[in-house]
Structure 1
């Protein structure tokens, strides 16, 4: 194990088939309006948690929610995870504003997400 600390799960992305309907449901659940509202992504900030809605599962065509751990060094964490047996699904890449994201699958096929903010 390396000493790079994980900052915890702060982001969960949910695949949705109908973005408008899902937006209404999540707004009612969370009690807040979305802070990001576009045709390809709707994001809510609620109690220190970011909940994102991605139509049709997003670029990875996810069919289940994906939790994202916020880490200080995404490449080091990817190396640590692959050394432990995980497989890179989506390599680290910039999604805007210097934010890097990546996903891996564990040995049972569960998708785990990583985020590194600049």
Structure 2
């Protein structure tokens, strides 16, 4: 069991947008799904192999002192199979390139954009992600 102090996994990624409805439509198109949960000013998607939560929040609900309206802070990288293809799709949807396709070594590849709402979105081919997924899939099959 993990120590109670350690970070154990992503619970929810929150992105803020002044135009919440447009952000909801943009992310629905990108992800190919509608939000599974909605409240006024909040929409949540479950995505990926582990059904991580991506929350879109009206920027009027941002924490006091949050810097909004431009990229900043941490970059969350989502695993994708095709970094260049995903980057091209994001750019075609109106995102702005922050960092182009970058080989990081050992088969790790990243890119990042700023979405039309000012949030940084990172994409990455991550062999470690695939190793963990394969190990969990194998363990479940052996049960």
Tell me the TM-score range normalised by the shorter chain: 0.3 to 0.5
Higher relative contact order (CA 8 A, sep 6+): 1
TM-score normalised according to structure 2 size: 0.40
TM-score normalised according to structure 1 size: 0.47
Higher helix share: 2
